[in-house]
Amino acid sequence: MTDVERPERLALLPDAAVAGHLTVGVRTGAEKLPQAALAKACLPLDASSRWEAPRVRDLVDEAMRRFADLPTKADAWLAPRLHAGLRMTRREASDGRLWNFLALRLAPDYVFWRHPGRPSVEKPVPEVSSGRFRGAFHTQAFARLWWAAELFRNGDDYEPVEVACGNQDMLNTTLRLEIVHHRPTAQAIIQMLSRQTIRVGREVNALAKAVNTAGSTLMYEIIACDEVQDADAYRCWIEEIDTVYMPYDSLPEGPDDIRVPEAVVEALIPTFEKLYTEAPVRGRDKRTTV
């Protein structure tokens, strides 16, 4: 296979080079992406071994194999491993060009597989939304997984990521809210999810909405003060990339940059429970008890 079909190294693919190629034909699968033209437009990353493409490609292949019948289930498996396999800083992850590369050059097949789109009256032929290729961090096919892992992990523990990514509403609505930039808030919501205080998507959304709305007057950061994350520990974890093995059947280890103190999360949960039960949103199952 040529480098055009199977890139050896990750690179940056500028928006300007992408825009013209995400035609309806491409998004319905009728046309192929012009890989040669895209390859030409790419800008190389530094020489670090972190950017070896097979690391990521292998994970994507394994995800598509394991969850062939249930692509949505792949998120909980892939998110922590993509994060642990693609070791980078938030600064690097904020660069949309890297995610463009993953979606258009490295694994467009994954995007089609995971986000096929639904036929509608207006668009009878299903097409992949262009935002899955090139878009906001919470919609782009790969960025959403990496950021979910980054925002929902608890220090080196990826278990909360599995829980969160097992619920599509956590990924689709909660991930983009600023409230989860406060780790204790994110962990408290995940705790409520794993304790089944909230269960279905509608309940997740109601809780997130209540917390987000009350967040206009409440400083959760003052009520539940987080530890300062250890940026140096994160750096060390990035540099260890070549010495660790990526487990498929157990969770990898995340950066040991300090877990959220348990007491802080526990202190926040009653507040959220109160907001949730007192929220009078129509249509929610009133029998839900906490």
Partner 1 sequence: MKTLIPYPTLDGEIVLEVKEARLDGKPLSLTLISSMEQVVALHQVERNDWERARIVLRMRTPQELMSDEWVDVACAAVLTEKKTNVRLVTPLKRQSDNSWIGVAELHRDWHVGQAEVEGIVTATVADVQGRVIARTRRRWTVDLHLRTPTRKRTIRTVWKDFSSEENVYLHPYKGDPWAIEAADDEPVVYLNSGFEGLQFLLDSASRSDRAVQNAVAGQIAGDCWAALFNTAVYSIDVEDGEPQWPVGWKESVLRRMLPDVYPDRSPDDALVELCERRRQGESGGELQTRVLHAATKQARMSRSLSVFIRTLRTVEEEK
Partner 2 sequence: MEDPGTFGVWLGRQLRRQGMSQAELAQRLDVTRAAVSAWVTGRAEPRLEKIRLIEEILGLTTGSVMTLDDVPDSAGNVVWYHRPAHRDGGRELGNPAAFAFESDLRVLAREATQNSLDERRDIDGPVRIRYTLHEVSGERLYRFLKALRWDDLEPHYEAAADRNTKVGRVLTNGLREMRETSSLLLLRVDDYNANGLTGPEYDDGRFAAVVRRQLDSHKSRSAGGSFGLGKAVLWGTSQLGLVLINSTLSEPYEGRTARRVIGRLDLPWRQVNGEDYAGPSWLGEPDAEMGGTACSWWADPDTVDALQLKRDSDAPGTSFLIVAAHDGTGEATTLEEMHDALVRSLGENFWASMVAKSGSRPMLEASVVALRDGHTVKAAERVDPDEYEPARVRALRAFLEGTTVEELTSDEDVVRTTVRLGLPPLKDTVVIDAESPNEHEAVLLLTPTNDDDPAPNKIVCMRGSRMVVMKRSVSDVPMGARRFQAVLLAGLATGSDTPDAFAAEEFLRAAEPPEHNEWKKTDDLTAMYARGAAARIQEFRVAMLAEARRLLRVQERKSEDGPPALRDLLSLDPPPAPRRPGFPTVGDVEGSIRTDGAWQVRVEIRLPEREDPWVMAPVLRFVTRSGPKPVAEWSELVPESHCEVIDGTLLRFAPRVRAAVFTGVSDVTSHPVAAHMAMAEVDLVRPKEAGA
Tell me if 10 sits within 8 A of 51, measured CB to CB. Answer: yes
Question: What token pair was written down for 184?
Answer: 């204790």
Is residue 39 involved in binding partner 1 (CB under 8 A)? Answer: no
Give the DSSP H or E segment for 12.
strand 11-12
Query: Which SS3 state, helix, strand or coil, does residue 136 take?
Result: coil
Q: Pick from 43, 125, 136, 281: which binds partner 1 (CB under 8 A)?
A: 136
Asked if 273 touches partner 2 (CB under 8 A), the answer is no
**Interhelix angle for 74-85 vs 143-152, to 10°?**
80
Q: Which residues pair with 154 in a beta bridge?
A: 157
Which of partner 2, partner 1, none interacts with 103 (beta carbon under 5 to 8 A by kind)?
none
Out of 2, 49, 196, 217, the only residue in the binding site for partner 1 (CB under 8 A) is 217
Pairwise CA distance, residues 99 & 13, whole Å: 8
Out of 47, 228, 245, 278, which residue is the one contacting partner 1 (CB under 8 A)? 228
User: Binding partner of residue 14 among partner 1, partner 2, none, CB under 5 to 8 Å per kind?
Assistant: partner 1
Q: Is the dihedral of CA 170, 164, 88, 141 positive or negative?
A: negative
Residues 188-207 that bind partner 2 (CB under 8 A): 206
The DSSP secondary-structure symbol of 189 reads H
Closer Cβ to partner 1, 71 or 201, answer by number? 201
Rounded Cα gap, residues 138 and 131, in angstroms = 10
> Binder to partner 2 among 216, 243, 250, 289 (CB under 8 A)?
216
> In this structure, what token pair is assigned to residue 173?
């609505």
* 209 binds partner 2 per the rule CB under 8 A: yes
> What CA–CA distance (Å, rounded) separates 187 from 265?
7
| 151-180 footprint of partner 2 as x/- string (CB under 8 A) | -------------------------xxxx-
Binding site for partner 2 (CB under 8 A): 176-179, 206, 209-210, 212-218, 275, 278-282
Binding site for partner 1 (CB under 8 A): 14-16, 89-91, 93-96, 136-137, 147, 150-151, 176, 178, 181-182, 217-223, 225, 228, 231, 234-235
